[in-house]
Chains A and B, each alone.
Chain A
Amino acid sequence: MSVSTCPSEANAATPAPGGLDAVDRAIVLATQAGLPLVPDPWSAVGKPLGIAGEEVRQRMQHMQASGIIRRIAAVPNHYRLGYLANGMTVWDVDDAHIDRLGRIVGTLPGVSHCYRRPRHLPEWPYNLFAMLHGQTHADVERQADELRSLLGDACRDHRILYSSRILKKTGLRLAGRSDRQA
């Protein structure tokens, strides 16, 4: 599917997979940089698109219910909040147990993201990724120790890869004209 629809094409009514129509996509493009910080953000988003605020709200509600929007939230800068140690922990977990254990790891409070990913043998034996956040490396290591005991014999090896430099951080952007109205 193309997500390059511009707001000006919102009336084209191109059907799209995933249940998104052209108006939904216009809303996505108009809000991906952020939501206007005003008392009625739905009308502020809708006005340049020629859509009523109530329709924007209902469409975003629908997108959230179907998982297209994870949530509308404040995204903190880890470092500015004092989370100076951010470790990507990677684990070599027995394939027979990874789905059960991955779900448990995902429920731990310090884990922000948890995925199963492919190994690349021999260079990369790790198939479970869990991001951990702390104020110090010791905080992250403590959480990793807990995780290690939880995984038990199903885990053969693990590593903590700290980010030592941010090389680029632009965030995800869909193509298309996204006029920011914040």
Chain B
Amino acid sequence: MIAERLSRPEPAELDAADRRIINRLQDGLPLVEAPFAAVAAEIDLSEGELLYRLERLRDSGVLSRFGPMYHAERLGGGLTLAALEVPEADFERVTAAVNAFPEVAHNYRREHRLNMWFVLATETPEGIAEAIEAIEAATGLPVFNMPKQEEFHVRLHLPV
């Protein structure tokens, strides 16, 4: 993926109904027979309007996705956060090399000596070590592996 295409999107114009939808659905869809009808009733919309707006919010990128959030490790996969100290002159080359790995799910530049931070997701726990070794070979840089040792909290909720 070309890094330049991932510029930061502008804040969206949202009306009151959009806000109710976003706030309510970050908390989770109930696993009932007609889940969207149930949520629509809670926030004073028709089922049709909720679905129409939700689709629009997703397609315009206000929501990056709508669906189940799977717990990678409980599915048997490997997951870790890793960082690199990338020399400035080499940043674009290393970005391309790291992003070329399908195991790299997210990659961010951050302002620190360790200036590249990425999430690795692999099919098996053992896959993490192999991916790290391959990234070190491709970039010529040591990878700082920071797997979680304890999860205290995971719940993204951004009220609007």
Measured CB to CB, the residues of A under 8 A from B are 1-4, 16-18, 20, 28, 31-35, 37-42, 54, 57, 60-61, 63-64, 66-84, 88, 98-99, 102-103, 105-107, 111-118, 120, 123-124, 129, 133, 159, 161-175
Contacts and interface: CB of A to CB of B under 8 A. Distances in A.
Given A76-B26, A118-B149, 16 more contacts: A31-B68, A41-B36, A67-B71, A73-B69, A75-B63, A79-B11, A99-B150, A114-B152, A114-B154, A116-B150, A120-B144, A133-B158, A162-B111, A165-B109, A167-B99, A172-B121
Interface in B16-31: 21-22, 25-29, 31
Contacts of A4: 123
B109 A37 contact: no
Contact of A75 (B65, B116, B145): B65
B74 A113 contact: no
Interface of B: 1, 3, 6-12, 14, 21-22, 25-29, 31-37, 47, 51, 54-55, 57-58, 60-72, 74-77, 79, 81, 83, 85, 95, 98-99, 104-114, 116-119, 121, 123-124, 144-158, 160
Report which residue of A17, A117, A163, A168 has the largest number of chain B beta carbons within 10 angstroms of its beta carbon: A168
Contacts of A106: 152-153
Given A123-B113, A123-B114, A167-B95, A76 B64 contact: yes
Contacts of B67: 31-35, 72-73
B133 to A, nearest CB: 17
A103 B65 contact: no
Contacts of A77: 9, 61-64
B124 A1 contact: yes
Main secondary structure of the interface of B (DSSP, over half): mixed
Give the dominant DSSP class at A's interface: mixed
Contact of A167 (B3, B11, B26, B111): B3
A3 B77 contact: yes
A74 B10 CA distance: 19
Contacts of B109: 163-165, 167
A74 B63 contact: yes
A31 B38 CA distance: 21
A57 to B, nearest CB: 6
Given A72-B28, A116-B152, A80 B9 contact: yes
Interface centre among B21, B29, B81 (most CB of A within 10 A): B29
Contacts of A103: 152
B113 A75 contact: no
